[in-house]
Structure 1
């Protein structure tokens, strides 16, 4: 970060394991889709010497060769790791998707990293979802820096973009978001645009020219000094205000010239502890060039200003019986604690697990204990097994470079872990431990699917199990009421990728069908029914008659069966048979084929035959009696109602409440939340919010979140109920 001119390239395409946590930096790149994260990673890899000038590694692939789906969709859909070396430091660059549907991959990157680079496009600005991630990082004290890209765009203005970033990210202290360098523009082109050809270091007051494709240092002319004086003074004041030396500000205000070494050291400390957030500019290298603009400065910031894994608190771990265990921060000699932050499938090596080692040292061919958190509601079984580690490797594009071990603080890939899933903890076999899980977004977009053909049906179960094992943000539901297989996803793009992976990776073709909610039926008032099942057609006959009364009960009561038979009209041994027949018919429904609930069925009378009456006959009679009672009664269709909480920016509260009302929602109240947001609570029929995750994102420009929980079933409006009944008749 001290504006060095010398480059320390690594061996092209060779990723090596670190020997000590102090020589590792784990950095996650965050930004909206199209901000230039992947391009920036490739530019940093080129400058660090990890790829050649054509951006290719040794086997001819590129650093961004990760997933065929990404190439087809022209966007990142998963977390990817690109390790590079700079100045004796190994930098693990974690490139995350920018699209909101893949926020699970983003959270995995945040979990594995110790610092974050927020990539902001000068052409697009800062979106609401990026602000939300910034707030999440602030809540845990993660160090951050900002990189402005796309400075070549028309009307791109670095100074204006810096002001926008300070406004968006510097709510508590705008002077903590300041540039370290100012872009230097070259001669104006015929179209009026002046390209950025270099940078001016505000602290060193050096000029770094990238116009030839390699960084060259020089002294700026006197004509440029007024350009940087104001920005430099503000930067120095911002650094000094965050200095741990409380005398520094007084000395500076008294006119003392603070030496460059002190400023750089204070800057690095402030960045490392998350108190100062420098803004830099970067651009990819031109064709044939060795370095992209700003990449050297960025690599120096990462190695000098971002914290080592040693500066991260040790994870909170517990023993299998729930007892908390204290660990020294990132000690290679401590007990092994590692976590699976990502699971993927490779066509050649099978399941591939990306591991972050938080404590101890992970070695190839070691037997470890796998502990899981038990996300049973999402189709993830709890894990508590021993498993042998196979080969360890460092990824680079499509390559995997074998390594013998991975020390605390580093990341690596493990092949063929058959039981471990994303979020699981790996620990020593004789000292099993479990890390607290990280927060996962709740998938709220249902995707009902069915196998396309019989061969697909045979493979569907295994394919879905492997798909869900890779992605903990996806939930698999086997709905017994609707008899549907439902994949709950984060959005339409997430659903599209799931279907594509089922087809291409696991060879399963599925059809998407309309999602059904679990409707119920109930009686609107009292009714009576008589079930007569009499057959005397030769041989052993069937004879059973029963009379029942049905009355509605409060919601949540289920089915209540009461015996009020007197005088033995129905023999005692057949009363359970009547009840069984009634309950079986209730499960099948009495009007539109949905389960009957919240009624009391009273058996009043009946008749039996000494020879021809049987268990089966009275079951049939009980079912017939319930159907007859329903034929003479008004039947309500009950729909599930959800308690919905929408966390939204104050500027969108009116639109959200209006939209909820249009969905037959009843707003229960609002609650102010820090950061200019409001929590809107409402009760909304579930049939109205099947696509709410998609619609809310559009309504709030990606800034709102919502949760939903089942509240109860309640009667559906008559006009909607009639439409549902008509659809049921058409389908039968």
Structure 2
């Protein structure tokens, strides 16, 4: 790395292709919003020859021309693939959103990749690096994914590369900071009047060469006598870090004994340690200036990707079963093996229709193949399970707004598939005569509810189809038709996720919706015993209506529902009309007796009544039963019951105090805490659901993006009188 001859770049205007898995590298870029991931991909595409000097592709666009919403919001909101060629390798660069709301797109990128580049901005505070990126780093570490770090924005004034690498070692290295070390040091030019020294090149610590980018092209030179001592300390530490992770245990003894180690051996050991996920090099990169052929550090980064990151042959593929759950043998990355591919992203194009980004794990995918679609266990989020055959359309490699046709896609590669009308994100594609299902990846639960309604009658006609298409693209979104509140609710990851979802409904599917206040399912119950008399007597000539009933209402323990007891004696209410009374009181209970919420947890006892031999009827006794319950409620204390959620909050130890204080301010009860490992604490609490509608947003603020929580329904319990009064007030005034 840094000592190899410049590889032959790819050609702009044609699709990057792969003829064998060993020539593919799948790399996901991870980093905080604004860290420079998309700009880095553009610089890599320029260096690889995928775009011209102006950074444009054939149609005049750029590799970052993905989505109109992204341009309007000035941030990435979805996973994007940019394939490039370098030195005979096809590199699939997966650009992920850095904003926490779009973590589902990030998880999809991690699933599709075999290695990760963590992009860290030199302009960021250390806390931002730790808070936004550490959790993803730990996810990658848990599965042994190889990782490297790229430092961007070195052109920003008052940046310190050496200090930032020490911060990265502390944050990402954990107990072994020497596993996170720079391969290159920045070379600085003359200071400007404001005291800022621009980065003009890189100093290779292993090769002890200078790679000068100041002319717009990479040139190699040797350091002068003044520069050599400056790199000696960093070079020795790097060599010791590489040797410590080497599989050859004799190298350390040889080195400590004063022996020289061949640079070729060092590079080979470095590449092996990176591929095994136990050593994480730090590199620097910057976009190419106007008219330049290469961005600073991009050649070095492409060499690391092709030389140090694993091929698709090395990672163990996810487990597969039959669609019915029967185990199947472990698949391997073999183009001649059984077809197993996975939809990692679904998008809609207004001209082409649905486009699926697919990672092929085994076999070879060809245009016009008929495949079996199996998936995917997210029915609770509005995503139906699939078990159908479909004929795929054209295969293509995306590049900006272009779709470049591909003749086939082999195991280990990624591509876009057109016209998969039923397949959704997370579904498995396999041979129609040998259907298989891949083990799904973990998707976070959407915890921010947004109630919506159609803006007009025309929108109402299109709403259902638009929503079904929207959730088909995004497995982190859940669609709920709440029967208790009669609201259509989109559960999202955060406010930015909501904005993008509503904008896609409007611009892509032509559906305008209004956001309305989200309602929780309140209930009512009697606070004490009460009685009521229902009298429904009408004479209007001809057949009349006559029914009288007397009831008693007693409160019951929570969860009891509604009990109806018949204690009529002497036939005061004829037997055939007793079910009518029950039907009437249950119908009234469903509509509520005070604030319009369902009545629960009461025993309603029918004690007495009167009937008429001619004018009594089923309808009359239903009405009398309802009137009796309403009269009983007028004389009783009616309590409002609110749903209480069991909330589990996982946060770093330093945020436990603020989190517990915040939960208490939400009328919550903390029921316990426990250590969860990794300097984190799990806080368990019971909180009224009315108080946690926006908790997904607020927790992110409290914990600087490091907190996670889950919620589940616990029970309904009585609302405090002062809160109940505020809830009743709109009903009494309104409506």
Q: TM over 0.5, yes or no? A: yes
- For residues 2 and 309 of structure 1, the distance between their equivalents in structure 2, rounded to whole angstroms, comes to 24
SS, match of residue 390 in structure 2: strand
Shift of 1:7: 3.8
Q: In the alignment, which residue of structure 1 is the partner of 2:11?
A: 11
SS, match of residue 377 in structure 2: coil
Matches within 5 A, 1:189-338: 189-338=192-341
SS, match of residue 358 in structure 2: strand
- For residues 442 and 324 of structure 2, the distance between their equivalents in structure 1, rounded to whole angstroms, comes to 22
Given that 1:2 and 1:264 are in contact with CA atoms closer than 8 Å, whether structure 2 keeps it comes out as: no
Name whichever of 37-46 and 483-492 sits farther off.
483-492
- For residues 654 and 719 of structure 1, the distance between their equivalents in structure 2, rounded to whole angstroms, comes to 28
Structure 2 residue aligned with 1:682, among 681, 685, 706?
Answer: 685
Shift of 1:109: 0.4
Q: Do structure 1's residue 650 and structure 2's residue 653 form an aligned pair?
A: yes
SS, match of residue 364 in structure 1: coil
Given that 2:319 and 2:331 are in contact with CA atoms closer than 8 Å, whether structure 1 keeps it comes out as: no
Q: Deviations over 1:141-161 (max 9, x none)?
A: 110000000001111111011
- For residues 320 and 62 of structure 1, the distance between their equivalents in structure 2, rounded to whole angstroms, comes to 41
Q: In the alignment, which residue of structure 1 is the partner of 2:111?
A: 111
Structure 1 residue aligned with 2:644, among 641, 651, 670?
Answer: 641
Name whichever of 31-40 and 606-615 sits farther off.
606-615
- For residues 563 and 386 of structure 1, the distance between their equivalents in structure 2, rounded to whole angstroms, comes to 57
Shift of 1:14: 2.1
Q: In the alignment, which residue of structure 2 is the partner of 1:630?
A: 633
Structure 2: segments with no counterpart, 5+ residues = none
Given that 1:13 and 1:396 are in contact with CA atoms closer than 8 Å, whether structure 2 keeps it comes out as: no
- For residues 324 and 146 of structure 2, the distance between their equivalents in structure 1, rounded to whole angstroms, comes to 34
- For residues 76 and 37 of structure 2, the distance between their equivalents in structure 1, rounded to whole angstroms, comes to 10
Q: Which runs of 4+ in 1 moved over 4 A?
A: none
- For residues 515 and 730 of structure 1, the distance between their equivalents in structure 2, rounded to whole angstroms, comes to 19
Q: Do structure 1's residue 456 and structure 2's residue 437 form an aligned pair?
A: no
Given that 1:451 and 1:457 are in contact with CA atoms closer than 8 Å, whether structure 2 keeps it comes out as: yes
- For residues 337 and 625 of structure 2, the distance between their equivalents in structure 1, rounded to whole angstroms, comes to 68
Q: In the alignment, which residue of structure 2 is the partner of 1:54?
A: 54
SS, match of residue 46 in structure 1: helix
Q: Deviations over 1:379-409 (max 9, x none)?
A: 1111111111111111000000111211111
Given that 2:245 and 2:273 are in contact with CA atoms closer than 8 Å, whether structure 1 keeps it comes out as: yes
Shift of 1:440: 0.8
SS, match of residue 728 in structure 2: helix
Q: Do structure 1's residue 516 and structure 2's residue 557 form an aligned pair?
A: no
Given that 1:374 and 1:383 are in contact with CA atoms closer than 8 Å, whether structure 2 keeps it comes out as: no
- For residues 175 and 591 of structure 2, the distance between their equivalents in structure 1, rounded to whole angstroms, comes to 60
Q: What's the TM-score once normalised by structure 1's chain length? A: 0.99
Given that 1:26 and 1:112 are in contact with CA atoms closer than 8 Å, whether structure 2 keeps it comes out as: yes
Q: Do structure 1's residue 416 and structure 2's residue 409 form an aligned pair?
A: no
Structure 1 residue aligned with 2:363, among 360, 376, 385?
Answer: 360
Shift of 1:418: 0.9
- For residues 82 and 332 of structure 1, the distance between their equivalents in structure 2, rounded to whole angstroms, comes to 22
Q: Do structure 1's residue 484 and structure 2's residue 487 form an aligned pair?
A: yes
Given that 1:332 and 1:359 are in contact with CA atoms closer than 8 Å, whether structure 2 keeps it comes out as: yes
SS, match of residue 417 in structure 2: strand
Given that 2:320 and 2:331 are in contact with CA atoms closer than 8 Å, whether structure 1 keeps it comes out as: no
Given that 2:363 and 2:411 are in contact with CA atoms closer than 8 Å, whether structure 1 keeps it comes out as: yes
Given that 1:589 and 1:596 are in contact with CA atoms closer than 8 Å, whether structure 2 keeps it comes out as: yes
Q: In the alignment, which residue of structure 2 is the partner of 1:143?
A: 146
Given that 1:119 and 1:148 are in contact with CA atoms closer than 8 Å, whether structure 2 keeps it comes out as: yes
Q: Deviations over 1:203-249 (max 9, x none)?
A: 11111000000000111112111111111111011001101111111
Given that 2:30 and 2:98 are in contact with CA atoms closer than 8 Å, whether structure 1 keeps it comes out as: yes
Structure 1: segments with no counterpart, 5+ residues = none
Shift of 1:2: 4.3
Q: In the alignment, which residue of structure 2 is the partner of 1:186?
A: 189
Q: Deviations over 1:412-469 (max 9, x none)?
A: 1111211111111111111111111111111111111111111011111111111111
- For residues 614 and 429 of structure 2, the distance between their equivalents in structure 1, rounded to whole angstroms, comes to 67
Q: In the alignment, which residue of structure 1 is the partner of 2:123?
A: 123
- For residues 443 and 208 of structure 1, the distance between their equivalents in structure 2, rounded to whole angstroms, comes to 47
How many residues align? The count is 732
- For residues 733 and 453 of structure 2, the distance between their equivalents in structure 1, rounded to whole angstroms, comes to 20
- For residues 714 and 601 of structure 1, the distance between their equivalents in structure 2, rounded to whole angstroms, comes to 20
Q: Deviations over 1:6-40 (max 9, x none)?
A: 24111113223311111110000000000000000
- For residues 569 and 364 of structure 2, the distance between their equivalents in structure 1, rounded to whole angstroms, comes to 77
Q: In the alignment, which residue of structure 1 is the partner of 2:41?
A: 41
Q: Do structure 1's residue 89 and structure 2's residue 89 form an aligned pair?
A: yes
- For residues 130 and 248 of structure 2, the distance between their equivalents in structure 1, rounded to whole angstroms, comes to 36
Q: Do structure 1's residue 499 and structure 2's residue 502 form an aligned pair?
A: yes
Q: Do structure 1's residue 391 and structure 2's residue 394 form an aligned pair?
A: yes
Name whichever of 220-229 and 632-641 sits farther off.
220-229
Shift of 1:182: 0.6
Shift in alpha-carbon separation, 1:329–1:172, aligned structure 2, 3 A: farther
Given that 1:198 and 1:209 are in contact with CA atoms closer than 8 Å, whether structure 2 keeps it comes out as: yes
Shift of 1:726: 0.6
SS, match of residue 311 in structure 1: coil
SS, match of residue 234 in structure 2: helix
SS, match of residue 8 in structure 1: coil
Q: What's the TM-score once normalised by structure 2's chain length? A: 0.99
